[in-house]
Amino acid sequence: MRDEHFKVQMFRFVDVLASLHRGGEIVRHLDEYFTDMRNGFAPLVRTGVQAAKIVPWISGQLLRWNVSGMARQFIAGKNPHDVMKTLRKRRAKNIGFTVDLLGEAVVSEREATEYAARCLELLEYLAGETQGWIDQLGKNSELFPVVNLSVKISALYSQMNPADPADATAHLAPKLRPILRRARELGAFVNFDMESYAHKNITLELFKTLFTETEFHDWPHVGIVIQAYLRDAEADLFDLIDWGRARGTRFTVRLVKGAYWDYEKIKSSQNGWNIPVYLQKPESDVNFELLTRILLENEKNVTSAFGSHNVRSIAHAQALADQLGIDRSRFEFQLLYGMAGPIKRALVEMGYRVREYCPVGELLPGMSYLVRRLLENTSNEGFLRAKFSENVSEQQLLRDPRELLNGAAAPSATSVTTGDRQLPDGASVDVPPGDTYENASLVNFVYKENQEQMRAALRQMRTQLGKKYPLVINGEKIWTGKTIASFNPSSPKEIVGHVTEAGIPEAEHALEAARSASKQWSRTTIEERARLLERAAAIMERRRYELSALEVFEVGKPWAEADGDIREAMDFCLFYAQQMRLIGRPRLTQHVPGEESYQHYWPRGVALIVAPWNFPMAILCGMTSAALVTGNTAIIKPAEQAAVIGAMLMEIFAEAGVPPGVLNFLPGKGSIIGAHLVDHKDVNLIAFTGSREVGLRIWESAGQTRPGQLQLKHVVCEMGGKNGVIIDSDADLDEAIVDSIYSAFGYQGQKCSACSRLIVLEENYRRVMQRLLSAAASLRVGNPEEPGMTVGPVIDKTAYDRIQEYIEIGKSEATLAFQRKDVPAEGYFVPPTIFVDVTPEMRIAREEIFGPVLSVIKVRDLDEAIEVANSTDYALTAGFFSRSPGNIERAKAEIVAGNVYINRSCTGAVVGRHPFGGFKMSGGGTKAGGADYLLQFLLPRVVTENITRHGFAPEETPQYREEFLWPPKR
């Protein structure tokens, strides 16, 4: 398939087909996927679709039948009984098997238990059916049991979290032991398959832990996978070999290249992680050969299974084994069912041991597996494609991958436009830096070192709890004698810190300081202000774990959520610094002879920053850094519940060198000092994020002009949401369930972006609910000091009581479908709760609850779904899960929300990538982390000069000029 677009459409269509049951639906999708095709296939497809429209029922059936046929090529059987037919045929050809159970992704413990039961059942069946089968080679057969089961570890525990290997082992080991025990009794072999990088370390640890146990330590018929495309592969293999040697019993390593290459690259790029895989295909091939050598050189302790279709990789293993004097019967080649038949035949003829990797499962639900295989078959770099469809010469196929490596171009680094450019109008070559922004990275808790650092930070932070923090006004620390205590919501007896409480006199003092500092700060260069933000970001990076640990204690954030908050704060600093450099310099408005007009910006003056507790560092820092970089001075009023984190932000900016008075830290009661400053004639700008109630009050108050007030107040106002997620009838439920559950219950539903209404089309309502409820029942709820928790405590007693009240309202209005029972008794833990039979006018469907409570609304069709989604006062975020291109386009056009997310979670906006904020009662339409956010903090100004003297004017006027500052600063 040379046409990339056609290929993508084809695979996507195959992927959705399993969820389509009616002929009309199948034809509609076919139409949507293919009719806009502008290539050689177009006339063919158009005719096909036209024909299908005439008899949709028959065409639908025909298509399903055809695709099932395609699936049958790669799936060895629908069920154990079916697969045995295949295995018998293969046996006649001297090909062995390992079976792998296909199915949907496991999203709940119920599904994980079902998978474990299916594994056991399959083992029993295969052992029964293969009795009397003897080894194909009749030599060294004790190393290679006939029955061989490949187990997907992620299918045995739905809550596997890379940050918490101990928890994973604690849940996986009990599910695996019965399978292993029975396999051993039956004389079978069990292989642990390797999946994405996020699960790799856990899988390796689990393997070593289980097979060191007394019961299994002398069992040789166990194997694990090493993926040669991983940079870690060599170290992991040596570690395994050392372990195996110490264990004193053989084991097997299946060496493969790896099947998640695209996924790993995408995921790492999105999170700013080092890419764990080699970027060039020949690098994996080279590594495969290196690992082959290591394996064969350690043949005494480890049995090798080479999983490759690449004749060069295979030939290399053969040659090396010969060289080392290893008999052909002591290792094996593993190839995928349905692929590379001639290679398998040749290997058998040459006297090698060959095993097929045989997926077993229903054909249509196994589509995602099929798509992966099809992609592998047709990928441009795939060996199979080269071998079987492009007739590449033998010499080329057997070429040493090192040669290709040397010749290959180095991977291109993402380029950032920084250089000078000639503008099309020739006006100026002087342009500001480019607008590509590279985000700060998240901490990757896959790595043990990072887990250790977080644990150490938590221990260290515990010793700091209870400290006192001053106000900071005009660069001075001030203690008023009154303090506000901040509590740990997981353990309310624990005081995180005492923050000095400001009253009205301190508010006046802070305002005075901010006003006097304003003159100087507004005249500081953009570059200097941008650098202040960059230094602050660097300090956050240095103190990253400490700050995350503080968030765990003060606001109950799970590890990854806390880290995400610090990353976002860093991003705000770095992004706004870059944006200010982009927009800040005076810019020519128009090229006109004889006159130059430059537009530029002045700060508004004194900014009051009022922040909520739920993204305690990010939101506070975002609004503050925007105010400072634009030349405003600021007073920050953190939320009481997160005041210690506010104090940290002040510390960070002080260390970064913010001049006295430019930033003033004023914790206290919002209703007293917040309200006082909001109403104050000398406050020019209010940046607020918080509840609708307070936001509207601020909006209204700012509209009044007080005696002596010299400037109109500007309000940046971000408020709550009642965010709806629609699940279309053809949605990929593996994705939709996991993402909806995370959107609704991640950080206990206390994100303004959280999903609180799930709108489900009746066609797949039953299936959605079945999977949703068991997924909710499987969530990890508990103290977020433990790694890998999804649901922790809500912020305080007031929130706890309010949410409980809403749960009672829900019980009276709708039907309680699910509520967790096992939440910790201490701390403000609200059990994740799901209501069904909810209708749009109910209070639980309209009011922001801000806790782990989800309302499910069943709708007839997409028309009704969109109507319901848009039927609230709010318009913050929304989600849509669908595989219909037409419906996706419609959702993009019609869903009313500031941030519309398609086929992904509706939380987790990234600075620069997803400018964040809503409208209607969710906010004033500003976008934090977006290109135009800083304009909210600025006043535009234009300076025009007639540059004609006696009829003569310069021919060129620069596009940008230096800032208007006097005396000029160079």
**Cβ proximity to ligand NDP, 18 vs 909, nearer residue:** 909
Site for ligand NDP in 903-922 (CB under 6 A): 917-918, 922
Decide: helix, strand or coil at residue 836: strand
From 119, 717, 752, 755, the catalytic residue = 752
**Beta carbons of 944 and 594 less than 8 angstroms apart:** no
Q: Does 719 bind ligand NDP (CB under 6 A)?
A: yes
Cα–Cα distance for residue pair 289/317, rounded to 1 Å: 7
CA distance 319 to 939: 74
Task: Please state the closest distance from residue 679 (CB atom) to ligand NDP, in A.
Answer: 9
Q: Are 875 and 898 in contact (CB under 8 A)?
A: yes
Which of these segments, 8-16, 98-106, 123-131, 635-643, binds ligand NDP (CB under 6 A)? 635-643
Residue 689 sits in the site that holds ligand NDP (CB under 6 A):
yes
Q: Does the protein bind ligand NDP through residue 565 (CB under 6 A)?
A: no
Cα(826)–Cα(836) distance, rounded to whole angstroms?
Answer: 29
Nearer to ligand NDP, 256 or 618 (CB): 618
Residue 630 main-chain phi, psi, to 5 deg? -85, 0
Ranges within 874-903 binding ligand NDP (CB under 6 A): 876
Q: Please report whether residue 497 would count as binding ligand NDP according to CB under 6 A.
A: no
| Residue 720 touching ligand NDP (CB under 6 A) | yes
Measured from the Cβ of residue 91, the count of other Cβ atoms closer than 10 Å reads 15
Q: If we measure between CA atoms, which residue out of 577, 624, 581, 573 comes closest to residue 601?
A: 581
Structure tokens given for 883: 């595989």
Question: What's the number of CA atoms in the CB half-sphere (13 Å) around residue 815?
Answer: 6
Applying CB under 6 A, does 691 fall inside the site for ligand NDP?
yes
Task: Tell which positions 86-105 bind ligand NDP, by CB under 6 A.
Answer: none
Q: Which of 233, 255, 277, 611 binds ligand NDP (CB under 6 A)?
A: 611
- Does the footprint of ligand NDP cover residue 721 (CB under 6 A)? yes
The verdict on 157 binding ligand NDP (CB under 6 A) reads: no
Q: Which of 3, 37, 16 is nearest to 887 (CA)?
A: 16
Contact call for residue 568 and ligand NDP (CB under 6 A):
no
- Examine residue 690 and tell whether it contacts ligand NDP (CB under 6 A): yes
Q: What is the closest distance, in whole angstroms, from the C-beta atom of residue 753 to ligand NDP in the complex?
A: 7
If the CB atoms of residues 211 and 699 are measured against ligand NDP, the closer one turns out to be 699
| Residue in 269, 671, 815, 839 binding ligand NDP, rule: CB under 6 A | 671
By the 8 A CB rule, do 226 and 236 touch? yes
Joined together, the tokens standing for residue 46 give 């158009």
923 binds ligand NDP (CB under 6 A): yes
Name the residue nearer to ligand NDP (CB basis): 360 or 607.
607
Minimum gap (Å) between residue 641 Cβ and ligand NDP: 6
Q: Running DSSP on this structure, what letter comes out for residue 935?
A: G
> Is 614 near ligand NDP (CB under 6 A)?
yes
Q: Does 752 bind ligand NDP (CB under 6 A)?
A: yes
Q: Which of 614, 624, 685 is nearest to 851 (CA)?
A: 614
Q: Does 639 bind ligand NDP (CB under 6 A)?
A: yes
Q: Which of 77, 26, 107 is nearest to 362 (CA)?
A: 77
User: At 555, which amino acid appears?
Assistant: V
Amino acid identity of 530? Answer: A
- Binding status of residue 749 toward ligand NDP by CB under 6 A: no
Which of 283, 563, 640, 796 is close enough to bind ligand NDP by CB under 6 A? Answer: 640
Q: Counting contacts by CB under 6 A, is residue 483 touching ligand NDP?
A: no
Return the closest-CA partner of residue 353 out of 254, 478, 209.
Answer: 254
**Minimum CB–partner distance for residue 620 and ligand NDP (Å):** 9
Alpha helices in 298-366 (DSSP H): 311-323, 341-349
Q: Which one among 487, 613, 835, 880 touches ligand NDP, defined by CB under 6 A?
A: 613
Shortest distance in whole angstroms from residue 701 CB to ligand NDP: 8
Residue 610 is a binding residue for ligand NDP (CB under 6 A): yes
Q: Does 192 bind ligand NDP (CB under 6 A)?
A: no
Quick one: 584 or 918, whose CB is closer to ligand NDP? 918
Cis peptide before 967 (omega within 30 of 0): yes
Is residue 674 a contact point for ligand NDP (CB under 6 A)?
A: yes
Of 271, 285, 372, 666, nearest to 506 by C-alpha is 666
Note if 121 is an active site residue: no
User: Judged by CB, which is closer to ligand NDP: 614, or 778?
Assistant: 614
The distance of closest approach from Cβ of residue 537 to ligand NDP in the complex, given in angstroms and rounded to an integer, is 21
Please count the CA atoms within 13 angstroms of the CA of 383 that sit on its side-chain side.
22
Sign of the CA dihedral with 45 first, then 50, 52, and 53 last: positive
Q: Judged by CB under 6 A, does residue 850 bind ligand NDP?
A: yes
Q: Please report whether residue 697 would count as binding ligand NDP according to CB under 6 A.
A: yes
> Whole-number minimum distance, CB 655 to ligand NDP, in Å?
24
C-beta of 580 vs 619, nearer to ligand NDP? 619
Coil/strand/helix, residue 899:
strand
Q: Which stretch binds ligand NDP (CB under 6 A): 191-199, 400-408, 431-439, 674-682?
A: 674-682
User: C-alpha 3: how far from its chain's center?
Assistant: 30
- Residues 219 and 176: their CA atoms lie apart, in Å, by 15
Q: How far is the CB of 566 from ligand NDP (least distance, A)?
A: 16
- Decide if 631 contacts 524 (C-beta within 8 A): yes
Alpha-carbon separation of residue 809 from 629, 686, 692, 817 (angstroms): 46, 35, 20, 14
Q: 3-state secondary structure string, 468-511?
A: EECEEECCEEECCCCEEEEECCCCCCCEEEEEECECHHHHHHHH
From 64-72, 153-161, 688-696, 900-908, span contacting ligand NDP (CB under 6 A): 688-696
Whether 665 and 475 have beta carbons less than 8 Å apart is answered as no
Q: Give CA–CA dist 131/128, Å, rounded.
A: 6
Question: Which residue's beta carbon is nearest to the bound ligand NDP?
Answer: 670
**Contact region with ligand NDP (CB under 6 A), list: 612-620, 815-823, 888-896, 929-937:** 612-620
Among 177, 669, 913, 961, the residue binding ligand NDP under the rule CB under 6 A is 669
Q: Does 675 interact with ligand NDP (rule: CB under 6 A)?
A: yes
Nearer to ligand NDP, 690 or 787 (CB): 690
**724 scored as a contact of ligand NDP (CB under 6 A):** no
Concerning whether 718 is annotated as a catalytic residue, the answer is yes
* Among the listed residues 559, 377, 545, the one whose alpha carbon sits nearest the alpha carbon of residue 461: 545
Per the DSSP assignment, residues forming a β-bridge with 487 are: 495
- C-alpha 112, offset from chain centre: 22
Quickly tell me which residue has 């039961």 as its tokens.
117
Among 237, 678, 775, 934, binds ligand NDP (CB under 6 A): 678
- Around 327, how many Cα atoms within 13 Å sit in the side-chain half-sphere? 9
* 491 binding ligand NDP? (CB under 6 A): no
Q: Which of 718, 785, 786, 848 is catalytic?
A: 718
Query: Where along the sequence are the contacts to ligand NDP (CB under 6 A)?
Result: 610-615, 619, 637, 639-640, 669-671, 674-675, 678, 689-691, 694, 697-698, 718-721, 752, 848, 850, 876, 917-918, 922-923
Residues known to be catalytic: 718, 752
